[in-house]
Structure 1
Amino acid sequence: MERVKPYVTEEQVRAAKEVNTLAFLLRHQPERFKRVGRTEYAHCGHDSLKVSVNGKWNWHSRGVGGTTAVQYLIKVEGYDFVRAVQIVCADAPFLSSPPVTEEKNSGFALPPRGDNFKAYQYLAGRGVCDEVLAFCFHTGRVYGTNRRTAEREYTNCVFVGFDESGNPVHAGLRGTQGFFRGNVTGSDKRHPFCIPAEKEGASTLALYESPIDAMSDASLRIRRGAAWREQHYLSLDGLSMLPIETFLKSHPGVTHLRICTDNDKAGREHAARLEEEYAARGYLVESCIPHGVKDYNELLQKELSRERGTER
């Protein structure tokens, strides 16, 4: 069957152009940007990459810049025009102006519980196996919440992070439709989503960019007959080192780090930094970036497609 070439409408292009660059990035990549002035943010891994509240951005060391989120995805992330518009357009109703105000110490509260079935169905559709889903939903690490607008109702997956005392202190959101993702206001970035090993003193900690990647690798291990809870699974909520430092401080038995970041430029560069940093501190560091795919969820889905005989 001939594949239909993806396209976008003029209306989608117009809508995507209205999305503020900074608002988009703070929603999708909050861990990658830090405030460096009243009206400006900088990329945590590339200090010369600056984004202003008015939507303009400039990567000074590379000599590239722009005024829209679409241009950012094309020039910085490497997406083609159609895919960039599709990604940004999904946020168009919500991000037409930047959510930049004076920072306050906001309290944290978990979103109200909503439609668990849709959240479960979404994650199962991404290939996550029933055993992993059952554990995460049963322990309160994952659940569904609903968000209503004037036009429709949306369901989000909530990925909960707990502190050392077992209190929920972080919540990441992932829409079951479109590309929405973000963190609940007041989330403690030291404690994002984690699936603990069955034994507290387990020696291996695996690191991922997102909860779904962590759950996908756990599913792959089950499918291959491995004891999936012999290791800890920690989402870095992007590419932050803060969760790693926090986890290692409270789990001194960890001696082995598996780096499972995305197979893209940012993921590979971050993996190299982590390997250098923690190997120098005496940890056994293993690079486990997936080959031939972007991330562990894509690897899982590719394996499932191969089994079904539907891989393209």
Structure 2
Amino acid sequence: MSAVAGYVTREQIEQARRLDLLSYLAQCEPWELVRCGNGSYRTRTHDSLEISNGLWHWHSRGIGGRSALDYLIHVRDMDFVTAVQTLCQGRVAALPCIVPEKRPSKPFALPPRCENPERVVRYLRKRGIAQEVIDACLKSGDLYESSPYHNAVFVGRDTQGVPRYAMQRSTGEKPLKLEAESSDKRYSFAIAGKGNGLVVTESAIDALSVATMLWQTDGQWQLCHYLSLGGVSEKQAGLPVALERYLHDHDGIRCIRLMFDNDAAGRGAAERMRFHLKSRYEVSVEFPPHGKDFNDYVRQKNLRMKNKGERKDWAR
């Protein structure tokens, strides 16, 4: 039986569920596949979406699966019926399963360091980050400039101060966000504070933006802890591993401010996290009043303050 609008048969559903993502992309969208070696691939549209050993995992969103059907629903945002029809009408056949030889993963290592962080400082200042915040992060070693590509590197450490995570962000015109190989997501970029409050953001740039907002208010930005999650997902059920780990390691935290992007993913993630945290902590959910994220907001506020020639209270 052929599919009609709004309807699919049980046989078509089973056929769609059997198709793996690599087979679908190789035959229908081969331009999306980027070979990474050792039998794994990434997609050109989402460079943190990895396909390996018959499974796919979108690292920046914390979601994954096996089938092309899961991919079309969760990544392409297709409804179930449309996704099934897309796979069945395309007459895509599963490719033979090739299990690559298992090789040990490379141990985590920080990208090489550039002695002069001039480009990183210039980039962050252009993004509206206060010089005092930049200087503190450079001094701690949790921020530096890579060599030879001059990316901004945001370092995450364990409780012993050992680097376990690194996120690279391009300081040039071409956008790039890339986790160092074998980064441990439990130890994403964070700034330890002296008080009992924790600010949780999606990106490291947003964490520095909120720190800048607090520095503009009264200069006491280092009282807060800051944690970047490296992205959030609309579909993640529990708490992100980085947040669970940080709260476990810093049991003096009492207040949590969830300061995410003002979009569907940010709003959904904030509400789910608030639900899991509210019985143990004082939790507030805050979104930028202007712009998509808090870095947009900081840059807009900086521009307004510059134009008006006055210093405003940024307390929220």
- Tell me the distance in 2 between the aligned counterparts of 1:242 and 1:299: 27
The CA deviation at 1:308 is: 2.5
The CA deviation at 1:44 is: 3.8
The CA deviation at 1:181 is: 0.7
- Tell me the distance in 2 between the aligned counterparts of 1:59 and 1:170: 30
Instruction: Establish whether residue 238 from structure 1 lines up as the match of residue 221 from structure 2.
Output: no
Residue aligning to 1:303: 301
* Residue-by-residue CA offset, 1:43-75 (whole Å, 9 max, x unaligned): 6458797349xxxx654546566xxxxxxxxxx
- Tell me the distance in 1 between the aligned counterparts of 2:251 and 2:129: 30
| Contact in 1 for aligned 2:56/2:64 (Cα 8 Å) | no
SS at match of 1:138: helix
Instruction: Establish whether residue 121 from structure 1 lines up as the match of residue 119 from structure 2.
Output: no
- Tell me the distance in 2 between the aligned counterparts of 1:102 and 1:302: 49
The CA deviation at 1:283 is: 1.1
- Which blocks of at least 5 consecutive residues in structure 2 are unaligned? 1-29, 35-41, 84-99, 233-238, 309-316
- Tell me the distance in 2 between the aligned counterparts of 1:208 and 1:64: 34
SS at match of 2:145: strand
Aligned partner of 2:43 among 23, 34, 43: 23
Task: Summarize the Cα distance change of 1:26–1:246 in structure 2 as closer, same or farther, 3 Å threshold.
Answer: farther
Task: After TM superposition, list the pairs within 5 Å mapping 1:165-176 onto structure 2.
Answer: 165-176=160-171
Residue aligning to 1:205: 198
The CA deviation at 1:209 is: 0.7
Task: Summarize the Cα distance change of 1:287–1:167 in structure 2 as closer, same or farther, 3 Å threshold.
Answer: same
* Residue-by-residue CA offset, 1:60-105 (whole Å, 9 max, x unaligned): 546566xxxxxxxxxxxxxxxxxxxxxxxxxxxxxxxxxx996843
* Residue-by-residue CA offset, 1:130-177 (whole Å, 9 max, x unaligned): 100100001101111134xxxxxx421000111100111111000012
- Tell me the distance in 2 between the aligned counterparts of 1:248 and 1:101: 38
| Contact in 1 for aligned 2:202/2:231 (Cα 8 Å) | yes
- Which blocks of at least 5 consecutive residues in structure 1 are unaligned? 1-16, 66-99, 148-153
Task: Summarize the Cα distance change of 1:106–1:61 in structure 2 as closer, same or farther, 3 Å threshold.
Answer: farther
Task: After TM superposition, list the pairs within 5 Å mapping 1:38-57 onto structure 2.
Answer: 38-41=54-57, 44=62, 50-51=70-71
Residue aligning to 2:96: none
CA RMSD of aligned residues (A): 3.0
Using structure 1 for the length normalisation, give the TM-score. Answer: 0.69
Identity among equivalent positions (%) equals: 29
Task: Summarize the Cα distance change of 1:283–1:37 in structure 2 as closer, same or farther, 3 Å threshold.
Answer: farther
SS at match of 1:224: helix
Task: Summarize the Cα distance change of 1:103–1:210 in structure 2 as closer, same or farther, 3 Å threshold.
Answer: farther
Aligned partner of 2:208 among 185, 200, 215: 215
Number of corresponding residues: 243
The CA deviation at 1:227 is: 1.2
Residue aligning to 2:16: none
| Contact in 2 for aligned 1:41/1:51 (Cα 8 Å) | no
* Residue-by-residue CA offset, 1:158-200 (whole Å, 9 max, x unaligned): 0011110011111100001221111000111111111110x2x
Task: Summarize the Cα distance change of 1:46–1:168 in structure 2 as closer, same or farther, 3 Å threshold.
Answer: closer
The CA deviation at 1:237 is: 1.1
Task: Summarize the Cα distance change of 1:190–1:18 in structure 2 as closer, same or farther, 3 Å threshold.
Answer: same
| Contact in 1 for aligned 2:187/2:242 (Cα 8 Å) | yes
- Tell me the distance in 1 between the aligned counterparts of 2:70 and 2:57: 6
Greater gyration radius:
2
Residue aligning to 2:177: 181
SS at match of 2:128: coil
Task: After TM superposition, list the pairs within 5 Å mapping 1:1-312 onto structure 2.
Answer: 18=31, 20=33, 22-24=42-44, 27=47, 30=48, 38-41=54-57, 44=62, 50-51=70-71, 58-61=76-79, 104-114=104-114, 115-147=116-148, 154-177=149-172, 178-197=174-193, 199=194, 202-239=195-232, 241-280=240-279, 282-309=280-307
- Tell me the distance in 2 between the aligned counterparts of 1:166 and 1:39: 33
1:219 maps to a residue whose letter is T
The CA deviation at 1:106 is: 2.4
| Contact in 2 for aligned 1:50/1:59 (Cα 8 Å) | no
Task: Summarize the Cα distance change of 1:297–1:205 in structure 2 as closer, same or farther, 3 Å threshold.
Answer: same
2:138 maps to a residue whose letter is F
- Tell me the distance in 1 between the aligned counterparts of 2:153 and 2:245: 22
- Tell me the distance in 1 between the aligned counterparts of 2:258 and 2:156: 20
The CA deviation at 1:255 is: 1.4
The CA deviation at 1:24 is: 3.9
| Contact in 1 for aligned 2:258/2:285 (Cα 8 Å) | yes
* Residue-by-residue CA offset, 1:214-263 (whole Å, 9 max, x unaligned): 00110111112251111100001112711110011111111111001111
SS at match of 1:190: helix
Task: Summarize the Cα distance change of 1:309–1:46 in structure 2 as closer, same or farther, 3 Å threshold.
Answer: farther
Residue aligning to 2:89: none
The CA deviation at 1:38 is: 1.1
* Residue-by-residue CA offset, 1:111-132 (whole Å, 9 max, x unaligned): 1112511111111111111100
